[in-house]
């Protein structure tokens, strides 16, 4: 039975990541009704910067609640890092049980076209060209700080390598000027899975072919470098890597649609496929 992810082909590693994302999407869909109720009705006080921080903490709680029932067979090993949800587990695949370090970070944003990542959350080295501002045209190479895998000592004494899989869940919302609930409107939950660094030649071979962009940070304040993932660019490369769960009915669940890819003349074409769920 294959247990070393390094022996997987690139297509097999893609399938492992795709199946992981399917499990996350199913779990979030099941919990989406209660998630909206909590997100919209939880009062938060404070100035704008504090408000953003508290909303992110709220998003972290919702991700924990959604994914706590979606676990595979756990491995008794901890992953240390700046990610909200961290689980080391056995991931079932057709190729074997693969050790996996599943990392899921929560975001809350009024933006719906991109996600902002810290360098400590980056799973692959990022190459991109700055497209605006005084640095326009500069090529940036930002090293990934997430490890490719987590070594785990097996009973035999050998190291098992738990492959790092990095997903991000972004709650897209609009604030309301209200002193009673709802305090904000939750529109969409975006769920994206950034490719493993082994897949860099396929997704980001150079600064020209890239779904990354420069994030907002201040070197003068010694802030950690940030980077942006642009949804449309990643979708153009691989439609299933960005999933969009939209709230279309008042007070209900998100619409259960899985985005997959069909072959097109100029590359993969997104196709929406409905799926069943039970609800929580």
* 87 located within any domain: yes
Q: Indicate the number of domains in the chain.
A: 1
**Which residue segment(s) compose the domain that 54 sits in?**
5-113+148-195+240-274
The pTM of the full predicted model, rounded to 2 decimals, is: 0.94
* CATH of residue 262: 3.40.600.40
* 32 located within any domain: yes
* 280 located within any domain: no
Report the percentage of the chain scoring pLDDT > 70.
95
* 208 located within any domain: no
Q: HEC states along the chain?
A: CCCCHHHCCHHHHHHHHHHHHHHHHHHHHHHHHHHHHHHHHCCCCCCHHHHHHHHHHHHHHHHHHHHCCCCCCECCCCCCCCCCEEEEEEEEECCEEEEEEEEEEEEEECCCCEEEEEHHHCCCCEEEECCCCCCCCCEEEECCCCCCEEEEECCCCCEEEEEEEEEEEEEEEEECCCCCCCCEEEEEEEEEEECCHHHHHHHCCCCCCCCEEECCCCHHHCCCCEEEEEHHHHHHHCHHHEEEEEECCCCCCECCEEEEEEEECCEEEEEEEECCCCCC
* 120 located within any domain: no
* 104 located within any domain: yes
* 125 located within any domain: no
pLDDT in tens, 150-203: 999 999 999 999 999 999 999 999 999 888 999 999 999 999 999 999 999 999
What pLDDT sits at residue 29? Answer: 98
* 227 located within any domain: no
What pLDDT sits at residue 24? Answer: 97
Confidence band, pLDDT 50/70/90 cuts, at residue 233: very high
């Amino acid at each position: 039975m294959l247990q070393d992810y390094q022996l997987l082909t690139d297509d097999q590693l893609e399938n492992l990541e795709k199946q992981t994302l399917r499990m996350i999407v199913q779990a979030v869909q099941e919990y989406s009704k209660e998630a909206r109720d909590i997100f919209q009705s939880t009062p938060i006080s404070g100035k704008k910067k504090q408000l953003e921080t508290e909303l992110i903490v709220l998003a972290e709680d919702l991700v924990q609640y959604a994914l706590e029932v979606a676990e595979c067979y756990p491995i008794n090993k901890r992953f240390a890092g700046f990610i909200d949800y961290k689980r080391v587990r056995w991931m079932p695949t057709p190729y074997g049980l693969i050790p996996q370090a599943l990392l899921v970070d929560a975001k809350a944003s009024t933006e719906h076209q991109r996600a902002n990542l810290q360098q400590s959350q980056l799973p692959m080295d990022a190459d991109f060209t700055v497209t605006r501002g005084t640095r326009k045209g500069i090529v940036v190479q930002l090293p990934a700080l997430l490890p490719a895998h987590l070594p785990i000592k097996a009973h035999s004494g050998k190291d098992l390598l738990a492959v790092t899989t990095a997903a991000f869940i972004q709650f897209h919302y609009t604030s309301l000027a209200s002193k009673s609930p709802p305090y904000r409107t939750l529109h969409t939950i975006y769920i994206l899975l950034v490719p493993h660094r082994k897949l860099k030649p396929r997704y980001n071979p150079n600064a020209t072919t890239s779904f990354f962009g420069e994030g907002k940070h201040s070197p003068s304040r010694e802030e950690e470098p940030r980077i942006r993932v642009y949804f449309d660019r990643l979708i153009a490369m691989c439609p299933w890597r960005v999933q969009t769960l939209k709230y279309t009915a008042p007070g209900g669940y998100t619409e259960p649609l899985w985005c997959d890819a069909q072959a097109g003349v100029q590359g993969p074409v997104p196709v929406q496929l409905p799926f069943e769920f039970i609800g929580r």
